[in-house]
Every structure is written in structure tokens, then in C-alpha cells.
Amino acid sequence: MRKCVLAYSGGLDTSVILGWLQDEGYEVHCVYVDVGQPCEDREAIMQKAHDNGAASARLVDVQEELCRDFAFPVLQWQAKYEGIYLLGTSIARPLISKACLEVAREVGAEAFVHGATGKGNDQCRFQLAAEALEPDVKMIAPWRMQSFRDKFPGRTEMIDFCDVKKIPVKASLAKPYSSDENCLHISYEAGKLEDTAVNGVAIVDFGMGVSPQEAPDKVEEVTVGFESGVPVSINGVKKSPLAMVQEMNEIAGRNGVGRIDIVENRFVGMKSRGVYEAPGMTALYAAHLQLEQLTLDRDLVHLRDRLAPEVAEMVYYGFWYCPKMDALLAFIKEAQQPVTGEVTLGLYKGNIEIHGRTSPNSLYDEEVASMEGGGSYDQTDAEGFIRLQGLPSRVLGKVRPRSY
């Protein structure tokens, strides 16, 4: 019998796909990749997979790896897709593929199956990662198959299928929106959010924090420590990467930080509207940027800033496992070596204030910067500097005078 690995959540879509794959003649091995999504009972989800015909079912916890090896390097790049989105969902997808392929290799599966739709970005991320790691892997994406869509044109048919198969699912025919969550963020899209005239923030039931209006009426200070650009401590206490993210989610979340509502350009070409919340990562991005301003020289920061949108685009599209990303990750690791120190943030009703920053590698020279004079800077040197900078303009102005 043909074997496949299914990226399994236990929800309606993957429950239907599990049953459908068996009808298609596959021995199905379910993999629940734990990236920090909320779940009532993970063991119950594994048991549900077994009860509904899975040859095996296992949970693979990759939360620490997600934060350490995926989210924090993207943070070091200050990468934001289209200048806004912190890439919370995008970052997790290549790691999910990697975890599923490890199981596929172990059980001898020929195919990797996912439940991403044929309209979204995730299908690209799953497949591009999987094929980079296992070039000969067979990808099965049911939502891209006409026969599957003919059988399940809507949620009613999917729920009916589960009833016939006696597969327990919690699903309704009407949802105001769909959501995807991991330890980095929650995304909300589809349903009523597809109307861009609707106030998305007003209709979403956010899960990682309170609204700015409901946040406390006082500033909360938190000090974040970094070593070579990696967040390592909160208020002087060392933390693991996952603990850093989780605790910052709590602190920033209770202060209304990290909500956005955007219309973004999907990789497949269409525009889509999403509402996102990422309280902890939003605060960590802000703290990291401030420490960089203190410790990195101008030309290096400006080069990083020119490349960061390209890194964000690669992560968003799903090109994690490729030579260009390998090189860029090596570059940022080297560039971040001096970014060590602490930044104190003031969090207040969705806002992030900077209350202080210190670093043993600070390039800030108070004597040189002071308006009071002193230090090694001689203001008379600026005369020649400006004259040389202006030389091309003066020559050009004589040859081709400008009207004004």
C-alpha cells in the first residue's frame, strides 16, 4: 500500500483529508507539528487520528527551534513583509515541512500531504521547502485537485462526510473569519474580513492580548537583553528563545501592543486582507532596532536595510531552503556580533516608548556628539568636507545652469 505523511491538525479540513486519503488507497501517517498553536488536548488529537484510520500519529514539538533558528534570524534582519507584517505564519511553514519529511523518511512514505488551499501562500511555502529538502518527494495538495473539490465544494459536504465516517469535528457552517496561531502570532482572515470596508480590529476576537483601549492606564517598563542580536533575557533574567517569546507575548499583550490590519500582496498574485497580532515579536523588534542604532556602523545598517525587504519577501514566498537565504543568514549572523546590551521599553496602550539603552559595544561618543564641543571632532574640518561633497554640483551648475 502507498504511504503518505499528512500535516495534521485534527480540524475539519485535515480530518476530511485523512478519510479521503484512505479512500484513495493510502496508508496515512499523521504528524501534528507543534508550533505553539492552542489546543484543548493534544493527546486527544493523536487518539482521534488513530481512531479514524491513521497508521500512525505523532506530535513533534518544534517551538524552541522555531524561535531560535527561524524567528530570531528574521528578527535580526528587521524583516517585515511590505514594511508591516512580521511574517509569523510564513516563518513556521518551512519548519513544518521539515518535521513532516523527517517522519516520512522514517516510515518510508512516498508523499507529503497538506491541507493548504490553492489560493493561498502556504501551499507555496510547504512545497518549496519540501522539494528543496527532498527533491523527489511527491506532493499531494487536495485543494488543488478537481476531483477533491468536486466531492467537497463546501463545508456542508465536508461535515456530511465526517458524519458518514463518524469522524468527530467541531465545525459550523458560518464563521466570521478563520485564524491560524503559533507562539509568534495569530493571523485572522477570510469570512467577514474579506470586506475591506469592515473594521477588522473591531470584529476579531483577539487571543494574545487586550486592545489598547482596555490596556492599563500606566506605563509598564520591561528591559530586554541581547547577545549578538539574539534576545536572551527579560528584566535581567536569562530565558530560552521560546520563553523569551512567550513572556514578551504576555507583557506586551496586556499592554495592547502588536495589532495590525493590512491588505497584502500574496505570492500567487492576488491581494488579501489580514488582521494580525504579534505582541511579543513587535516589542522585540523595537528593542532590537534600538540596540542596533547604538552598536552598528552606518554603512552596515544601511546595507542591511536595503536587503531586509528581499529577505522578508523570500520568507513570505517560502524560499527558506536555498543558497541565497543560506548566504543572507550567514551575513546577518556576522553583522550582529556587536549587538549586545539591554534596552528598556515603556509599553503603554499599544505604544512602545524607548526608556533607555546600554551596550558595552556602543559606538555613541558623547563628547564627539555633544553640541558643547570637545572630543576629537574639529568643526573646522567640516568646511573642506562640505566643499568636496559639493564639487560635482558646482561643476554641473556652471556647465548646465539651473533655472530658479
Q: Which residues are annotated as a binding site?
A: 7-15, 85, 90, 115, 117, 121-122, 125, 178, 187, 264, 276
* Cβ-contact 263, 223 below 8 angstroms: no
d(CA 234, CA 224): 5
Burial class (CB in 10 A: 0-12, 13-18, 19+), 129: buried
Contact present, 268 and 325 (Cβ < 8 Å):
no
Measuring CA to CA, which residue among 17, 102, 99 is closest to residue 52? 17
Residues of each annotated binding site for L-aspartate: 117, 121-122
**Sign of the CA dihedral 107, 110, 116, 122?**
positive
The answer to whether 55 and 200 are in contact (CB under 8 A) is: no
Structural element, H or E, at residue 107: helix 88-107
Residues 6+ apart with CB under 8 A from 50: 57
| Cβ neighbours around 352 below 10 Å, total | 18
Work out the end-to-end distance of the chain between its first and last CA atoms, rounded to an integer number of angstroms.
Answer: 81
**CA geometry: angle 266, 208, 275, nearest 5 deg:** 25
Cα of 84 vs its chain's centroid, Å: 11
Distances, alpha carbon 112 to alpha carbons 1, 100, 103, 317, 326, in Å = 15, 7, 10, 19, 24
Which residues are part of a known binding site for L-citrulline? Answer: 85, 90, 121, 125, 178, 187, 264, 276
Alpha helices in 231-357 (DSSP H): 241-253, 279-295, 298-317, 323-335
Catalytic residues: 13, 93, 122, 178
| Angstrom distance (rounded) from CA 244 to CA 129 | 27
